[in-house]
Amino acid sequence: MKLVAKKQYEAAVDKTRNRRMKWWREARYGMFVHWGLYSLIGRNEWVHAIESIPMDEYEQLAKKFKPKERPAREWAKLAKAAGMNYMVLTTKHHEGFCLWDTKLTDFNAMNACGRDLVQEYVDACREFGLKVGFYFSLMDWHHPDGSACAYDPAARRRFLDYVQGSVRELMSNYGKIDILWYDVPQPLQHHEGWESLAMNQMVRKLQPGILINDRSRLPEDFSTPEGHVKAAEAGRGWEACMTFNDTSWGYMPSAAQDAHRPRDIMKMLNTACTGAGNLLMNIGPSPEGDVPEDAIEPLTAVGKWLKKNGEAVYGELGRPVIGLCTSCGRFSQKGNKLYFWCRNWPGREMNLGGFQTKLKSARFLVSGKEIAFEQKGHRIILKKMPTNSPDKIVGYTVIVLEFTRPPIHLNAASTPALTVGG
Ligand code: GLC
């Protein structure tokens, strides 16, 4: 394969970025799935390292890994009901266990249970009309050269051949893959150490439409704030990834008591939309592959809400710089329209301050009912509102404010970046 230098590569990738990313920017919301041998222990996907479990003992878990029939269908079905549009599965986490039928190591699902679990996942995504993402950990605790690669050139060569071979299999054997989601580029500190430029050129040759995240020590297509929802600089694609309990990505039954409620997820989604970014919400299925009970109800509630309010979420969004405007909720924007997601209903009247653009109309997104308003200086007063929030699903009522042009707000220069979590 003929390789090009970094500048040329980046220019070529930039050129196709808008076209490649269109679906992703509009899709907004996806499901992350962390599933592997660590799920059998149920105390975080880092359990091998955290509890100093020797690798030969850890490897024995493979013998106990007996997932039920086609669990990925249940994840995909839930993702669909939750209003999500894509999925990302840990094909290999730091533990090194490969969920696919790899020819490069015996430490894989085919040997453990006679199944290619990545193939099952891909089939499920396609069945439910979801785009397909592969998470792949560069860091590998199982490979004999996974740490020696940092100081021994021969070990590094062997390890990189393994990493690149694995990525090649994933990019070659499952049809069209939409997202490659690298993780933890340790212990090598530079993209040259990882040969990321060559690896990602290979990926793009095999999968011309693919999106690649920013964790191979190259910026590539999008940023990945983790554990908090915070916008990247304008123009840059970003996707916040969040656990379901602020404690573990992998299955952890004892953390279920800290599971997010629907309104927590709504706040994350609202913040992602305000910054025109994406939200990748994680579930950690049980060793058998069951979706954790605590995730089903909250995700489905948000999905029900999205069925009615999707206009404020899906599709290309702008970035309204209106953070300080109201304590009652946050905005998303499409052209002349602002969608005000009212989280804390103020009652019969609602005041929105700081607007410098003329308001044309105000209405409820779901019922379409017009709202009487008055605009005085920078102030918009919405009148004769219901006493209680009309939204009974999660208590988020969306009001559509249509202006004569894209709205300008007084706080535009001074509004701090909105964040949730972290
Ligand atoms: C991290 C963790 C990991 C998790 C990932 C998700 O870097 O090491 O366990 O898979 O973040 O973003």
132 to 85, 119, 250, 415: CA distances (angstroms): 9, 11, 20, 36
Cα–Cα dist 122/329, whole Å: 37
Cα–Cα dist 76/66, whole Å: 20
Contact 41, 97 (CB under 8 A): no
pLDDT at residue 421, as a whole number: 73
pLDDT at residue 410, as a whole number: 74
pLDDT: which is higher, 324 or 203 = 203
Cα–Cα dist 252/148, whole Å: 31
**Among residues 99, 80, 82, 103, which one has the least CA distance to residue 90?**
99
DSSP 8-state class, residue 370: B
Residue positions counted in the chain: 422
pLDDT digits (tens, 9 = 90+) for 263-291: 999 999 999 999 999 999 999 999 999 99
**Among residues 242, 289, 241, which one has the least CA distance to residue 120?**
289
CATH topology classification for 6-223: TIM Barrel (3.20.20)
3-state percent helix, strand, coil for the chain, nearest multiple of 5: 35, 20, 45
Mean pLDDT, to the nearest integer, of 179-185? Answer: 99
pLDDT at residue 322, as a whole number: 61
Please state the domain extents for the chain.
6-223, 325-403
**Among residues 141, 229, 123, which one has the least CA distance to residue 183?**
141
User: Which of 120-124, 203-207, 211-215, 350-354 has the weakest average pLDDT?
Assistant: 350-354
Mean pLDDT, to the nearest integer, of 218-229? Answer: 97
Residue 226: how many other CB atoms lie within 10 Å = 15
CA 130 – ligand 1 centroid, Å: 22
Share of the chain above pLDDT 90, in %: 90
Contact 342, 389 (CB under 8 A): yes
The band of 416, judged by pLDDT with boundaries at 50, 70 and 90, is: low
CATH topology classification for 325-403: Immunoglobulin-like (2.60.40)
pLDDT at residue 412, as a whole number: 59
CA 422 – ligand 1 centroid, Å: 14
Cα–Cα dist 266/274, whole Å: 12
Dihedral sign (CA 121, 122, 124, 129): positive
User: Which of 106-120, 218-232, 318-332, 377-391 has the weakest average pLDDT?
Assistant: 318-332
Name the closest-CA residue to atom 10, ligand 1. Answer: 249
For residue 34, the ligand 1 atom closest to its alpha carbon is: 10
CA 405 – ligand 1 centroid, Å: 42
Could you tell me the maximum CA-CA distance found in the chain, to the nearest angstrom? 74
Mean pLDDT, to the nearest integer, of 382-409? Answer: 95
Query: Is the pLDDT score of 254 beyond 80?
Result: yes
Cα–Cα dist 89/33, whole Å: 5
**Among residues 320, 253, 244, which one has the least CA distance to residue 287?**
253
The band of 228, judged by pLDDT with boundaries at 50, 70 and 90, is: very high
The band of 417, judged by pLDDT with boundaries at 50, 70 and 90, is: low
Contact 262, 40 (CB under 8 A): no
Dihedral sign (CA 97, 99, 102, 108): positive
For 110-129, b where at least 16 C-beta lie within 10 A, e where not — what string? bbbeebbbbbbbbbbbeebe
Residue 361: how many other CB atoms lie within 10 Å = 12
Strand pairing category for 131-137 and 86-92: parallel
User: Which of 34-38, 101-105, 329-333 has the weakest average pLDDT?
Assistant: 329-333
For residue 32, the ligand 1 atom closest to its alpha carbon is: 6
Residues in the ligand 1 pocket, defined by CB under 6 Å: 34, 45-46, 183-184, 226, 241, 249
For residue 90, the ligand 1 atom closest to its alpha carbon is: 10
pLDDT at residue 415, as a whole number: 53
Q: State phi, psi for 147 to the nearest 5 degrees.
A: -110, -35
